[in-house]
Structure 1
Amino acid sequence: MEGPTGVVFPRTGEGRSTSALGRAVVADALRAVDPVGARSAEHETNWRHGYLGHFRRLVEAGLLSREAALSIARDGLASLHARMTVIGADGRETGLDEAFTPAAGEPLETATVTGGGPVERDLSLPYRGQRLYGDELRRRLDAWVTAGVIEPSCAEAVGAVLANPDWLDLRDQRVVVLGAGAEMGPLPSLLRWGGDVVAVDLPRPELWRRVLQTARRHGGRLRLPVRPAAAADDQATLAARAGADLLHRLPQVADWLRGIDGRLVLGNYVYADGATNVRVAMAVDALTGHLQQHRDDVALAFLATPTDVFAVPAEAVRHAERGYGAGSWARRSLRVVSGGRLLHRNYPPGADPGINDSLVPQQGPNYALAKRLQRWRATVARDAGSTVSFTVAPPTRTRSVLRNRALAAAYAGAHRFGIEVFEPATSNTLMAALLVHDLRTGGGPALAHPWQDEAYGAAHGGLWRVPYAPRSALGLAVLLGLGGARA
């Protein structure tokens, strides 16, 4: 961790250690609410494998009260902002929140692309080679609810968008898609619906060629940051000059977004491998705070991973219990033969709320921390009165998942346990519809506790409602997936 510039991990006695940061931040988040849990996190000697229980404890401790959940979120974010630093091109290291003054370097300019394609005014969903409209889509939503693939509130929210097709016209919003090239992002759907999209992603010409092709194919308008001299309107020139690296050009991106007219919706769809994921997630969070300080019209949007720890409604627990009671003889035998390590029940009977622990060890503590800080920001921003769209997305066959052989195999075998893994086009369209719902309803209903906000509209693919604790079935899913691939 000694080489990078931009947003970096803090230097400690262990160097720029990702494990040291993770232990410290989780401990700081827990300290006021659960001091025993904080000490346990601080003294964890094997963070790479031991982080799972501590991230679960963050959720459990927050269930004590609304204020406990807010305390954990605020203190976790404060710890990250106090610890993470920025190293400039000159080698000078400063605090993260000082990154925006002054905004040295070449400013970003704006290029605008208006698509020539049709504007769709009816919600449709691509699914298994078809495009579902109207009653067909409603029947699919009902089938998912019955199978436990999505929460009923997800079907209700999408149904509200179906009933109000005028909601799809988002020309009154400026939806900033951070991670414009992300497979799970809403950019294609927003442009299809004629929206005004502000796209930010790395300066990679091949990425921008794809984004520009999407923009020209649909009927919306795309604004993108470009380095000066990108006046030419041809696609090759734009793609070569487009983009901005959030890790290294954070002040310039902030200045550029501050100048965008209209109500700003800051959508966080960024992802990077390994420790870089935490760095870029913190860059986005610093950008979020900066824009909130300088504009009073900023709404926030997040996609949560289903492979995390969530509190879930009592009805999800009952659904899982019904499945557990109806378990096959073979599965009961596996539980016995494995000494209870395989296929143990997802929840204690009658839990309200239940704790769904779908953390996947292969994804690692950096991924968990990057996603958790987004949840914390959503909680804090919603409490402060901001409009927040926060949705649990389904397991999806994205390129980043399929690169991990074990995860790819687990996804291939997941259907054996009642979990549906979505294709990217289905996921990103469904999530875009939920974003529209949240923007048109002020962030969805006002709920009593942050865990209920997180559970609303969840499309978890079945992980919350399967009979078995996900990690207790993971190994079997991998074996079944590998076997299916060989067959």
Structure 2
Amino acid sequence: MAGEERGVVFPAGPDGRRSTAALGRAVVADALRPVDPTGAAAAERETNWRAGYLTHFRRLVEAGLSSRAAALSVADAGLAAVHARMRVAGADGEAGLDVLGSGPAGRALGTAEVRGTAEPERELTLPFHGRRLQGDALLRQLDAWVAAGVVEPSCAEAVRTVAAHPEWLALPDTTVVVLGAGAEMGPLTALLRWGARVAGVDLPRAPLWERVLDTARRGAGTLLLPVGDPAAGVGAGDVTAAAGADLIAEVPAVAEWVTGLPGRLVLGNYVYADGATNVRVSVAVDALTARLAAAREDLALAFLATPTDVFAVPAEAVEQSVRAYAARSRVGKLVGRPLRTLSAGRLLQRAYVPGSDPGVADSLVAQQGPNYALAKRLQRWRATTARAAGTTVSMNVAPPTRTRSVVKNRALAAAYAGAHRFGVEVFEPATSNVLMAALLVHDLHTGGGPACEHPWQDEAHAAAHGGLWRSAYAPRSALGLAALLGYGAARS
């Protein structure tokens, strides 16, 4: 990795290289060690982390299923391992990540404000296949998704509740900080249409901010954004050249800016980057979260969980998957047997052992890589520990979505194009974003949703997994065939 990196960086090894694989192995091993020392040793011995990480990330979930205490131990140990190992590089050398908890800001950030020109939407509407569903049409679609196993029943119920309370949409007396304001997956556009107050944070890139500010002006809410010149102030004109902050390098500056924002504070983590940078920015956000939690007692947290991960799922999901497997067509059964034989059992495996409670839905996709898996698991660990500490947390599983980061990967784009043949519905970004924003609104008005006995139940609640949890086949065992069937559609 480049020697000129600044801000949050991976630790350097004895040879001076900043190895992402070494960091991933060590963190997973440390997370497993309190409850699964055998699994920890296996992770440490993994010689090909890029290919072998899938088993160990599944084991992180399985190791926490024995009890609530076990799940919390995994999350606590994982977070501690990340914070103990990651470093902060500056002009004067390197320091531990803990310096971000109290270190001074490198610069003061001012605030620019952009007010929307539209009237707030007074009813929940969901963009879907070129239409905007509302009222009975929205409720029918929710019912259809539940029947098809595309979303959990609790997800549909939460959206129904928001539809019945449109006064919730504007989130009065609240500021939602959207880290990753320009991200394709995030609630910024929906919240601004509903009249909410949003504080957007993203990199200082003028084209990005031109797009975000245009969204704000066409909306009905208020957008607050950090600007490098404090004199720019409220009501500034063209602030795109001064807007933004680099989370990887400017945690203290962003923390001081966010701490001073008005209203109940919600810190929403929607950041994404390619490769190792995704881990760096996710760790920076976690350091920011810890600093803000110490400064603002009213802090609530929001995350989007990826559907391509490992989750424990309720018995009802297992039962629907088992029924789907038993109800395969005659052709499906005839084709499936030789495919499983030729692939040594790797293709078209049943998703669960019948009767599993909970089941383990393993939807990790090898092509996304261990850095992506670690970045997303870090968010889940933070959600788990924060919820246990009494913080309001909104963390919901988002559906598979045709985002730019997916479609630029040819294998994933093809798999998504063929996924419907295996009972998985892939959503358009506009649909996903409004659906997940509605779930965020629900959680913020209900204290983060119902209190569950075990962290896996918190994660499974209101999940919109697109059918990955309830389809007949283990997702990875159908991925290659889905890609083959979808290749032509993905090219068009």
TM-score relative to the length of structure 1: 0.98
Number of residue pairs aligned between Structure 1 and Structure 2: 485
For the 8 Å contact 1:263–1:297, the answer to whether it is kept is: yes
Who is 1:458 aligned against?
Answer: 463
Q: How do residues 388-399 of structure 1 correspond to structure 2 at under 5 angstroms?
A: 388-399=393-404
Q: Which of 77, 80, 103 is matched with 1:78 structurally?
A: 80
Distance in 1 of aligned mates of 2:155 and 2:124:
15
Which runs of 5 or more residues in structure 1 are unaligned? none
Who is 2:28 aligned against?
Answer: 26
SS at match of 2:302: strand
Deviation at 1:254, TM superposition (A): 0.7
Who is 1:127 aligned against?
Answer: 128
Deviation at 1:329, TM superposition (A): 2.8
Q: How do residues 66-105 of structure 1 correspond to structure 2 at under 5 angstroms?
A: 66-88=68-90, 90-105=91-106
Give the alignment's Cα RMSD to 1 decimal.
1.3
For the 8 Å contact 2:151–2:463, the answer to whether it is kept is: yes
Distance in 1 of aligned mates of 2:372 and 2:451:
29
**In structure 2, what residue type is equivalent to 1:311?**
A
SS at match of 2:232: coil
**In structure 2, what residue type is equivalent to 1:351?**
S
Q: How do residues 398-413 of structure 1 correspond to structure 2 at under 5 angstroms?
A: 398-413=403-418
**In structure 1, what residue type is equivalent to 2:354?**
P
Alignment deviations for residues 7-56 of structure 1 (CA, whole Å, 9 cap, x no partner): 00011236211000001000000101000000000000110000000000
Of stretches 413-422 and 226-235 in structure 1, the one that deviates more from structure 2 is 226-235
SS at match of 2:239: helix
Who is 1:370 aligned against?
Answer: 375
Change (3 A) 1:287 1:485: closer
Distance in 2 of aligned mates of 1:463 and 1:24:
29
Q: Which of 386, 391, 410 is matched with 2:391 structurally?
A: 386
Distance in 1 of aligned mates of 2:172 and 2:198:
9
**In structure 1, what residue type is equivalent to 2:442?**
H
Identical amino acids, percent of aligned pairs:
68
Deviation at 1:238, TM superposition (A): 1.0
For the 8 Å contact 1:121–1:169, the answer to whether it is kept is: no
Who is 1:268 aligned against?
Answer: 269
For the 8 Å contact 1:311–1:354, the answer to whether it is kept is: yes
**In structure 1, what residue type is equivalent to 2:451?**
A
Alignment deviations for residues 86-131 of structure 1 (CA, whole Å, 9 cap, x no partner): 001x141011110244324221000011111111121110000000
For the 8 Å contact 2:113–2:234, the answer to whether it is kept is: no
Distance in 2 of aligned mates of 1:392 and 1:400:
18
Is 1:355 paired with 2:356? Answer: no
Is 1:61 paired with 2:63? Answer: yes
SS at match of 1:239: coil
Deviation at 1:318, TM superposition (A): 0.5
Who is 2:45 aligned against?
Answer: 43
Distance in 2 of aligned mates of 1:157 and 1:100:
36
SS at match of 1:372: helix
Of stretches 17-26 and 323-332 in structure 1, the one that deviates more from structure 2 is 323-332
**In structure 2, what residue type is equivalent to 1:412?**
A
Distance in 1 of aligned mates of 2:305 and 2:474:
19
For the 8 Å contact 1:191–1:215, the answer to whether it is kept is: yes
Alignment deviations for residues 52-96 of structure 1 (CA, whole Å, 9 cap, x no partner): 0000000001001000000000000000000001001x1410111
**In structure 2, what residue type is equivalent to 1:371?**
K
Distance in 2 of aligned mates of 1:207 and 1:302:
22
Q: Which of 317, 330, 344 is matched with 2:349 structurally?
A: 344
Deviation at 1:259, TM superposition (A): 1.1
Who is 1:259 aligned against?
Answer: 260
TM-score relative to the length of structure 2: 0.97
Change (3 A) 1:484 1:478: same
Deviation at 1:332, TM superposition (A): 2.2
Distance in 2 of aligned mates of 1:484 and 1:376:
37
Change (3 A) 1:483 1:219: closer
Distance in 2 of aligned mates of 1:113 and 1:96:
34
SS at match of 1:242: coil
